[in-house]
Amino acid sequence: MIAGYPWFGDWGRDTMISLPGLTLATGRREWGRDILLTFARFVDRGMLPNVFPGAGDKPEYNTVDASLWFFEAWRAYLEASGDRESLAQVFLTLAGIVDSQLQGTRYGIHVDPKDALVIAGEPGVQLTWMDAKVGDWVVTPRIGKPVEINALWYNALCVMTAFAEALGRPAQPYRGLAERVRASFSRFADERTGGLCDVLDGPSDDDRSVRPNQIFPVSLLHSPLPPATQAQIVALVGRRLLTSYGLRSLSADHPDYKPHYTGDPWHRDGAYHQGTVWAWLLGHYALAEYRVHGDADSALERIAAMRDHLFDAELGTISEIFEAESPHFPSGTPAQAWSVACVLEAWWRIKRAIAVSKR
């Protein structure tokens, strides 16, 4: 999967996020299986490569979330295919990823024994999807315990519980650890906004910026949050970050907010995750809104604006990013895998839920 045409290659994080929408929602289960099994061969110290190696190249393992999205991609594939044979083939690899999180791996990535949350990061590196770097300047380092990483960690442990049960293997270690993470997740609560902190236990204390990363504890199948908190998050993100084409990467009232993605690389990368709208997040917002309110028509309407965008930039596909301010001009790569995939996946899942409800 090409993360973004024409400038980006096949990246681990983008592939795992995109896989359900580009292979399962489109009926290409065999492609999904082959991609998952191929990436499984490159797991090293519990990490998936962020940049998939070309011929003769070495993989780069500078991502904290690709391996956690790997669990969600497998969950989605198993849900669609029921392929226990492939699950049995990869189970020990998945178990090894969990063990590596517990023992610690590259870039300070490890589970904090005090609260069972994942902590990650070192000066000079960017490990989450907000990964802009200009020279030595890491724009959003997010060192500490990022909210979406720990939502993915909780989801992965719940997925492993179900996988172990399906294969007749011990599930209690995963179940017990997931319960610890769920109990600790309340630490992310930000009483001032009614939402969640973006990062806990960072070098300069907690980061309470209003960012879209808090939507994942709602959009993922396994949420560590009670329903009332999920509803508060959807409402907050809807008020402060939602646009027609995605979610802003930072709320407009923050001093670091950048309304325009323009200029030289220094200015563009400085705005990349500081307000710029990301299309892939629209699908997650739609799924979160549907989960909270159960209104399928409203959730589908959220992604309907993309119908018009198919004629705005590169025909028939969805751009990587949009400017933070209206009229939200498209920018970045004109054909972005996860932009297309997450809109498709949200549409597919909501349509399937409607069909099930009518049976």
What the chain holds in terms of domains, given with CATH numbers, is 4-357 (1.50.10.10)
Q: What is the pTM of this model?
A: 0.97
Residues contacting 116, CB < 8 A, separation 6+: 177, 180, 181, 184
Q: Which of 209-223, 263-277, 281-295, 300-314 has the lowest mean pLDDT?
A: 300-314
Give kind and range of the element (H or E) at residue 239.
helix 227-240
Select from 212, 178, 208 the least CA-distant residue to 283: 212
Give 223-282 pLDDT, tens digit per residue. 999 999 999 999 999 999 999 999 999 999 999 999 999 999 999 999 999 999 999 999
Q: 312 falls in which pLDDT band (50, 70, 90)?
A: confident
pLDDT of 318 reads: 97
Which helix (H) or strand (E) segment holds residue 134: the answer is strand 133-134
Q: Directed axis angle between helix 84-103 and helix 66-81, to 10°?
A: 160
pLDDT score of 55: 59
- DSSP annotation string for 149-202: HHHHHHHHHHHHHHHHHHTT---HHHHHHHHHHHHHGGGGEETTTTEE-SEEEE
Which residues, including other chains, have CB under 8 Å from residue 283's CB and lie 6 or more apart? 21, 303, 341, 342, 343, 344, 345, 346, 347
Tell me the DSSP string of 297-358.
HHHHHHTTTHHHHTTTSSTTS--SEE-SSTT--EES-SEEHHHHHHHHHHHHHHHHHHHHHT
Closest CA to 127 of 114, 144, 113, 115: 144
Give phi and psi for 206, each to the nearest 5.
Answer: -80, 145
What's the confidence (pLDDT) of residue 26?
97
Give the span between the Cα atoms of 241 and 85, in whole angstroms. 42
Residues 333, 8 contacting (CB under 8 angstroms): yes
CA atoms lying within 13 Å on the CB side of residue 85: 2
* Weakest-pLDDT range from 30-44, 53-67, 123-137, 179-193: 53-67
How many CB atoms sit inside 10 A of residue 201's CB? Answer: 17
Mean pLDDT of 125-131: 96
The string of pLDDT tens digits covering residues 48-99 is: 999 876 656 788 899 999 999 999 999 999 999 999 999 999 999 999 999 9
Name the band, by pLDDT with cuts 50, 70 and 90, for residue 350.
Answer: very high
**Closest residue by Cα to residue 202 from 135, 272, 121:** 121
- Total residue count of the chain as it appears in this document: 359
Smallest Cα–Cα separation from 97: which of 40, 50, 32, 51? Answer: 40
Residues near 189 by Cβ (< 8 Å), separated by ≥ 6? Answer: 196, 197, 229
Q: Furthest-apart CA pair in the chain: how many Å? A: 56
Q: What pLDDT was estimated at residue 52?
A: 73
For 265-268, the CB contacts below 8 A with 24+ separation are 265/134, 266/134
pLDDT confidence tier of residue 358, bands split at 50, 70 and 90: confident
